[in-house]
């Protein structure tokens, strides 16, 4: 096991993808070598916690000034990269859940179990809100608040207005969908954490 495969810092999208790929690979290696690695669940929890709370920058809110420098918002994505990122995030989340529910519960562990999935969800949300430069995904376009239409004529627009449907027809903008922290802020306010990055 070589944890130094993780990059020292992440400043671009390629480095972020590499960090996620190494994280997934190392977690898989820990799981398949349980016969010679002690406390493998703790290894995976620590690796995933480090990756998402210290190594990867969290996405900035779209309306923040800092969003113009956020690598998740400013980097162009190909469809293959977008799909690769979502699959990596899914597998890492599966590793984290398997490890987190295999160790003894404590109040500090509850904080980690609450914050790390929130960070993974934030990265996934930022990835899904990107329109791929080569093959735009219909789901991503819908999340961004628009419907891609190749052609629209006046008859289509008038039918839409008559029916009162709340659909966007090429050129019209709709408000997109997004994640909210909801009750997480209240729940995480009283959780014990012993790591400042969490």
Residue-by-residue pLDDT tens, the chain, 198 positions: 788 888 888 989 999 999 999 999 999 999 988 888 888 899 999 999 999 999 999 998 877 787 788 888 888 889 999 999 999 999 999 999 999 999 988 877 888 888 899 999 999 998 988 888 888 888 888 877 775 544 444 444 444 444 444 444 445 556 677 677 777 777 777 788 877 887
Q: Name the domain count of the chain.
A: 1
Q: Per the domain annotation, does 51 fall within a domain?
A: yes
Q: Does residue 97 lie in a domain region?
A: yes
Q: Is 49 left (phi over 0), alpha (psi -120 to 50) or beta?
A: alpha
How far, rounded to the nearest angstrom, does the alpha carbon of residue 174 sit from its chain's CA centroid? 23
Domain of residue 96, residue span: 3-129
Question: Is 50 inside any structural domain?
Answer: yes
Return the pLDDT at 25: 94
Residue 193 lies in a domain: no
Q: Which of 72, 51, 167, 78 is nearest to 123 (CA)?
A: 72
Long-range pairs for 5-10 at CB < 8 Å and ≥24 separation?
6/47, 6/50, 6/51, 6/55, 7/55, 9/55, 10/55, 10/56, 10/57, 10/71
pLDDT of residue 173: 59
Q: How far apart are CA 19 and CA 14, in angstroms?
A: 9
**Residue 144: inside a domain, yes or no?**
no
What pLDDT was estimated at residue 167? 45
DSSP line for 31-57: HHTTTT-TTHHHHHHHHHHHIIIIISP
Q: What is the dihedral of CA 141, 17, 46, 115, to 10 degrees?
A: -20
Rounded Cα gap, residues 84 and 82, in angstroms: 5
**In a domain? residue 196:** no
CB 6, CB 24: distance < 8 Å: no
**Does 177 reside within a domain?**
no
> Do the domain assignments include residue 37?
yes
């Amino acid at each position: 096991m070589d944890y130094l495969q993780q990059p020292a810092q992440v400043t671009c999208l390629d480095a972020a993808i590499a960090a996620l790929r190494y994280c997934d690979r190392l977690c898989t290696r820990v799981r398949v070598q349980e016969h010679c690695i002690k406390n493998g669940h703790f290894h995976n929890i620590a690796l995933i916690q480090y990756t998402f709370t210290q190594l990867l920058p969290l996405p900035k809110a779209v309306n923040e000034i800092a969003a113009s420098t956020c690598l998740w918002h400013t980097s162009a994505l190909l469809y293959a990269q977008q799909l690769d990122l979502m699959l990596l995030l899914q597998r890492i989340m599966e590793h984290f859940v398997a490890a987190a529910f295999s160790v003894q519960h404590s109040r500090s562990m509850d904080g980690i179990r609450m914050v790390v999935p929130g960070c993974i969800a934030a990265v996934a949300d930022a990835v899904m809100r990107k329109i791929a430069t080569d093959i735009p995904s219909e789901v991503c376009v819908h999340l961004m608040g628009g419907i891609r239409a190749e052609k629209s004529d006046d008859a289509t627009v008038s039918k839409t207005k008559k029916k009162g449907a709340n659909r966007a027809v090429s050129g019209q903008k709709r408000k997109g969908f997004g994640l909210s922290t909801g009750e997480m802020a209240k729940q995480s306010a009283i959780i014990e954490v012993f790591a400042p990055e969490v």
